Amino acid sequence: MGLPEGFRWGVATAAYQVEGAVHEDGRGPSTWDVFAHTPGRVRDGHTGDVACDHYHRWPEDVALMRELGVNSYRFSIAWPRVQPSGSGAANPRGLDFYDRLVDALLAAGIDPAVTLYHWDLPQPLEDAGGWMNRDTAYRFAEFAYRAADRLADRVGMWITLNEPVVVMAYGYAFGVYAPGRTLMLDALPTAHHQLLGHGLAVTALRSRGARRVGLANHYSPAWPADPSSAADRDAALAFDGFMNRMFTDPVLSGAYPDLGALGGPGLAPYVHDLDMSVIASPIDFLGVNYYQPTRLKAPPADGPLPFDMVDVTGYPVTGMGWPIVPDAFLSLLRALRGRYSNGLPPLYITENGCSFPDEVGPDGTVDDTARIEFLDAHIAAMRTAIDDGIDIRGYYAWSLLDNFEWAEGYHPRFGLVHVDYETQKRTPKRSYGWYRDLIAASSK
Ligand code: BGC
């Protein structure tokens, strides 16, 4: 079977990972600026101060995308550019940047897909409690309104949140990402407040004419370490609730999954009247970000979580050490359809990709065969899911450019285009040419 009419082939980036220019045009500080500038937080002290300098080099990057043949570019809007203190009037110079980018993309035949929150919370909001504070949800809706007010007439697709589970887990529970808090299970309210922010933002976006609205979640199939062990199976179920269901069930079915395995009162104390119906506001699509499966075993009796993660063995791995398992991608897509059946909106694969330690060779090329194999196998898995009748309408490779990979700094390279951070020279890798040919062939 072929791809659906109008299938989107895209590439994705996020503001803090590529833009740089952190002090320009009135941008305020974000949690990631503060975190990256705190010694010991990011490998080798790297920061997003310059990143890929996309803020200035976007015309070159748009040209690279036009040449690649993608029909959509997923990028995020830096909230601290639009509202430097996290609330109040919009900073017009911040919005001007995205305005120019959107116009240039449209002129190149590329539909903008905007993510509103890819983890760069304005620092003043963090100082007031961040996502632990319910008020942040309302501030987020206000930001969404201001962004859409300026751009909704030209942006084809809006993604409210990117991977709220990562913000909750890495940012507030384990402290390895900004804002670096180590609240463990006390971080749970950040789940509810982000989802409330999502629901409120859906209404705010639609009120300004946004055409297609959804969110992008991170999914990782949960494998019991020993499938014959009931305790390991329980650990996998608990992880599945935490990782795969907590941010999807409420949006698609209006209720949290059973989080009993986490202990404590769960989310009930934070849920006000009507919150769940706000969170379940109808969306037009679900964004799926997939990288790898996770293997779980029963935790020790005094463990802080109801699961322990163990390595997935027996598969090739990426430069991050992540197992390469395209079949897990297919089973995830099938599981989503099985779980939500008629309530599942159309899916877009909003992120999928891999890092390898790519280098520019003596002949000036970057031979990233392993990335081509990764993308080929995952795209094949997606096509099998489409043949199965799962409604998937687009695929965005992560990422257009090598970029700031959060706590790992500039070490991992996820791009289809190599970036030399000394000179900012962009060198399309072999995978770029491969993706270009794939897009051209599938558009015939
Ligand atoms: C995030 C990206 C990140 C990628 C690779 C996703 O979880 O949305 O920002 O670069 O994974 O780690």
| Cβ neighbours of residue 148 closer than 8 Å, sequence gap 6 or more | 155, 158, 204, 205, 207, 208, 209, 210
How much is the pLDDT for 263?
A: 85
Q: Whose CA is nearest to atom 10 of ligand 1?
A: 405
Q: 405 among the known binding-site residues? A: yes
Q: In what order do the strands lie in the sheet with 222-224?
A: 222-224, 294-297, 308-310
375 with 397: CB under 8 angstroms? yes
Give the pLDDT of the chain (444 residues) as one tens digit per residue: 689 999 999 999 999 999 999 999 999 999 999 999 999 999 999 999 999 999 999 999 999 999 999 999 999 999 999 999 999 999 999 999 999 999 999 999 999 999 999 999 999 999 999 999 999 999 999 999 999 999 999 999 999 999 999 999 999 999 999 999 999 999 999 999 999 999 999 999 999 999 999 999 999 999 999 999 999 999 999 999 999 999 999 999 999 999 999 888 889 999 999 999 999 999 999 999 999 999 999 999 999 999 999 999 999 999 999 999 999 999 999 999 999 988 999 999 999 999 999 999 999 999 999 999 999 999 999 999 999 999 999 999 999 999 999 999 999 999 999 999 999 999 999 999 999 999 999 987
CA 165 remoteness from chain centre: 10
Give the distance (Å) from ligand 1 centre to CA of residue 417: 16
Q: Strand pairing of 213-219 and 285-290?
A: parallel
Domains observed in the chain: 8-442 (3.20.20.80)
For residue 403, which atom of ligand 1 is closest to its CA? 10
Q: Percent helix, strand and coil across the chain, each rounded to 5? A: 45, 15, 40
Q: 398 among the known binding-site residues? A: yes
Neighbours of 103 (CB within 10 A): 12
Q: 291 among the known binding-site residues? A: yes
DSSP for 161-222, written as a single string: EE-HHHIIIIIIIS-SSTT----GGGGTHHHHHHHHHHHHHHHHHHHTT-SSEEEEEEE--E
Integer-rounded Cα radius of gyration of the chain: 21
How much is the pLDDT for 264?
A: 83
Q: 406 among the known binding-site residues? A: yes
Ligand 1, residues 52, 115, 406, 413: which to mutate, most atoms within 8 A of Cβ? Answer: 406
Which tokens in the block code for residue 439? Answer: 């897009």
Q: 162 among the known binding-site residues? A: yes
Dihedral sign computed on CA atoms, order 165, 170, 174, 178: negative
Spatial distance between the Cα atoms of 141 and 164, rounded to a whole number of angstroms = 15
- H-only helix segments in 83-163: 92-107, 123-127, 135-151
How much is the pLDDT for 90?
A: 98
Tell me which residues are annotated as active site.
163, 351
Spatial distance between the Cα atoms of 25 and 18, rounded to a whole number of angstroms = 16
Ligand 1, residues 43, 215, 317, 351: which to mutate, most atoms within 8 A of Cβ? Answer: 351
Bridge partner residues of 8 (DSSP): 394
Bridge partner residues of 254 (DSSP): none
Give the distance (Å) from ligand 1 centre to CA of residue 239: 19
Give the distance (Å) from ligand 1 centre to CA of residue 321: 14
Give the distance (Å) from ligand 1 centre to CA of residue 228: 33
Q: Which residues have C-beta atoms less than 6 Å from ligand 1?
A: 14, 17, 162-163, 166, 218, 289, 351, 398, 405, 414
How much is the pLDDT for 1?
A: 66
For residue 166, which atom of ligand 1 is closest to its CA? 7
Q: 54 among the known binding-site residues? A: no
Spatial distance between the Cα atoms of 291 and 249, rounded to a whole number of angstroms = 21
Phi, psi of 428 (to 5 degrees): -60, 135
Give the distance (Å) from ligand 1 centre to CA of residue 208: 29
For residue 320, which atom of ligand 1 is closest to its CA? 12
Give the distance (Å) from ligand 1 centre to CA of residue 295: 19
Spatial distance between the Cα atoms of 88 and 360, rounded to a whole number of angstroms = 46
